[in-house]
């Protein structure tokens, strides 16, 4: 009896192993590690940091990107599992407990999947892997945009502190000149009070600028998971404006957006899942091989059987309908994603164009005029031709123009970062 069962067991186990060898699996023993080549770990510098270094740190240590990579590795494992055949089962039955009349039945059963279930599972798992890859690309583009915005916000905060310090020096100079004129009896002591009040206001702006600088440093270091930044300061050219892309080519590049690719792959994945549910409507066949040892008759009898479920009550209709409706939902979400990204891209392009025009106007006209007016008012006040109120007005105009200039620069870089996030493209070189 056992001589007959041993070949059957070997066949039952050899068939799944031979079929598993035909799967198109990734090379290497560990498919999860073979999927993504992790870069060398970067270390946050203790001195100045550049945009390139910040992007490298965030790409390697950002928690959201790391989670997306782990998800991709997990989905790779699901692709491996999807191609596995069902396990055989071994059964033993004993009839009658008396040794002379005992009948022992040994059975080996192997389910055979029909209707293309295994192929449908593998295709659905592969579509899930493609969607996870697109999700990783979209997350990397989002983190890159966040890093760029935070880096230029930090450059803006550093410049704002520098300008606030210069404003304090200007205010101190005005206070000194006013004090001398009051001591000489040329102006009223009220003018000195105004000068000191204006100086105090500028000092408060310096304190606020330093507080914003601290927050900007922490926002940047948070992109690579560090709440206490080690780097000293950011090094970059804040006044190098991002290039203004061609609007016609811009929307052509939108078709390669990672977020749009993710939405398309979700439609493919849902369709593959629907095919899996359709294949489950076809019942599987279970083949049984065995041997019956009859002690009373003193002989062995071979057993061959086939069992097929009858789909009377459960035809998997509900799961098929659910999968089809989710595929329709994915198509609607794809259309919504296309409309949303087109709108976001248009807004980001307009913001970049407007900010560039504002920067150029402030740089070429407003700032030189405000600086010239302040210098003339200060010189005229020293010679007694203007009152201190004229100096205050000129000083406020100059400070407002500088603040507006910094805001326009920061907005231009944020708009360019949003465009790169939507398109999922590398950071272009800025323009002087």
Separation of alpha carbons 411 and 417, rounded Å: 10
Q: 409 with 335: CB under 8 angstroms?
A: no
Q: pLDDT digit string (tens) for 95-115?
A: 877 777 788 889 999 999 998
pLDDT, greater one: 227 or 431: 227
| Position 301 in a domain | yes
114: part of which helix (H) or strand (E)? none
pLDDT at residue number 40: 47
Separation of alpha carbons 91 and 86, rounded Å: 16
Q: Identify the CATH number of the domain in which residue 391 sits.
A: 1.20.1600.10
Q: Which residues contact 37 (CB under 8 A, 6 or more apart)?
A: none
Low-confidence winner among 160-164, 224-228, 260-264, 427-431 (lowest mean pLDDT): 427-431
Looking at every residue in the chain, the average pLDDT score rounds to 83
| Position 96 in a domain | yes
| Position 259 in a domain | yes
| Position 298 in a domain | yes
Which is it for strands 89-95 and 103-112: parallel, antiparallel or unpaired? antiparallel
Question: What residues make up the domain containing 359?
Answer: 2-8+49-423
258: part of which helix (H) or strand (E)? helix 258-279
Separation of alpha carbons 89 and 359, rounded Å: 75
Name the most confidently modeled range: 172-176, 264-268, 296-300, 363-367: 264-268
pLDDT at residue number 428: 56
105: part of which helix (H) or strand (E)? strand 103-112
Q: How many domains does the chain have?
A: 1
pLDDT at residue number 36: 37
Sheet containing strand 89-95, edge to edge, reads 89-95, 103-112, 285-294, 299-307
pLDDT above 90 covers what percent of the chain?
A: 44
Separation of alpha carbons 413 and 149, rounded Å: 7
pLDDT at residue number 21: 39
pLDDT at residue number 215: 93
Separation of alpha carbons 132 and 68, rounded Å: 7
Separation of alpha carbons 130 and 71, rounded Å: 12
| Position 42 in a domain | no
pLDDT at residue number 46: 84
Q: Is the pLDDT of residue 38 over 60?
A: no
Name the most confidently modeled range: 151-165, 196-210, 385-399: 151-165
Separation of alpha carbons 178 and 189, rounded Å: 9
Separation of alpha carbons 266 and 138, rounded Å: 13
Give this prediction's pTM.
Answer: 0.76
pLDDT at residue number 37: 40
| Position 431 in a domain | no
| Position 43 in a domain | no
pLDDT at residue number 329: 95
Q: 73 with 36: CB under 8 angstroms?
A: yes
For CA atoms 279, 280, 282, 283, the dihedral sign is positive
Radius of gyration of the chain (CA): 37
pLDDT at residue number 93: 87
Separation of alpha carbons 213 and 163, rounded Å: 13
CB-CB neighbours of 325 under 10 Å = 12
**Coil, helix or strand for 350?**
helix
| Position 364 in a domain | yes
Separation of alpha carbons 14 and 12, rounded Å: 6
Low-confidence winner among 70-74, 121-125, 309-313, 391-395 (lowest mean pLDDT): 391-395
């Amino acid at each position: 009896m056992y001589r007959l069962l041993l070949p059957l067991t070997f066949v039952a186990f050899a068939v799944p192993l031979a079929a598993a060898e035909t799967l198109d699996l990734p090379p290497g023993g560990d498919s999860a590690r073979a999927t993504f080549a992790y870069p060398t770990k970067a270390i946050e510098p203790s001195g100045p940091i550049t945009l390139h270094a910040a992007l490298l740190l965030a790409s390697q240590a950002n928690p959201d990107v790391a989670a997306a990579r782990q998800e991709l590795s997990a989905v790779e494992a699901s692709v491996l599992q999807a191609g596995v055949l069902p396990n055989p089962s071994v059964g033993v039955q004993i009839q009658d407990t008396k040794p002379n009349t005992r009948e022992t039945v040994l059975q080996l059963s192997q389910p055979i999947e029909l209707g293309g279930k295994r192929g449908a599972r593998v295709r659905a798992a592969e579509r899930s892997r493609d969607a996870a890859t697109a999700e990783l690309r979209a997350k990397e583009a989002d983190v890159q945009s966040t890093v760029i915005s935070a880096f230029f916000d930090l450059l803006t905060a550093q410049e704002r502190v520098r300008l606030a310090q210069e404003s304090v020096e200007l205010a101190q100079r005005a206070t000194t000149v006013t004090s001398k004129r009051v001591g000489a009896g040329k102006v009223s002591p009220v003018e000195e009070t105004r000068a000191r009040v204006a100086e105090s206001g500028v000092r408060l702006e310096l304190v606020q600028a330093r507080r914003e600088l601290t927050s900007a440093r922490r926002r940047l270091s948070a992109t690579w998971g560090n709440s206490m930044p080690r780097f000293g300061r950011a090094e970059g050219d804040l006044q190098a404006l991002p290039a203004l892309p061609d609007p016609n080519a811009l929307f052509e590049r939108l078709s390669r957006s990672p977020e749009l690719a993710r939405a398309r792959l979700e439609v493919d994945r849902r369709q593959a899942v629907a095919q899996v549910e359709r294949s489950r409507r076809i019942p599987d066949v279970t083949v049984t091989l065995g041997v019956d040892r009859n002690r009373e008759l003193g002989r062995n009898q071979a057993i061959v059987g086939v069992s097929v479920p009858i789909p009377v009550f459960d035809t998997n209709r509900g799961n098929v309908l659910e999968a089809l409706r989710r595929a329709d939902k994915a198509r609607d979400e794809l259309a919504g994603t296309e409309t949303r990204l087109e709108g976001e891209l248009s807004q980001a392009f307009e913001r970049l164009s407007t900010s560039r025009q504002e920067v150029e106007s402030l740089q070429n006209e407003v700032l030189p005029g405000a600086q010239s007016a302040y210098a003339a008012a200060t010189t005229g006040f020293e010679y007694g031709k203007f009152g201190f109120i004229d100096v205050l007005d000129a000083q406020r105009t100059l400070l407002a123009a500088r603040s507006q200039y910094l805001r326009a620069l920061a907005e231009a870089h944020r708009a360019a970062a949003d465009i790169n996030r939507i398109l999922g493209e590398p950071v272009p070189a800025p323009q002087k």
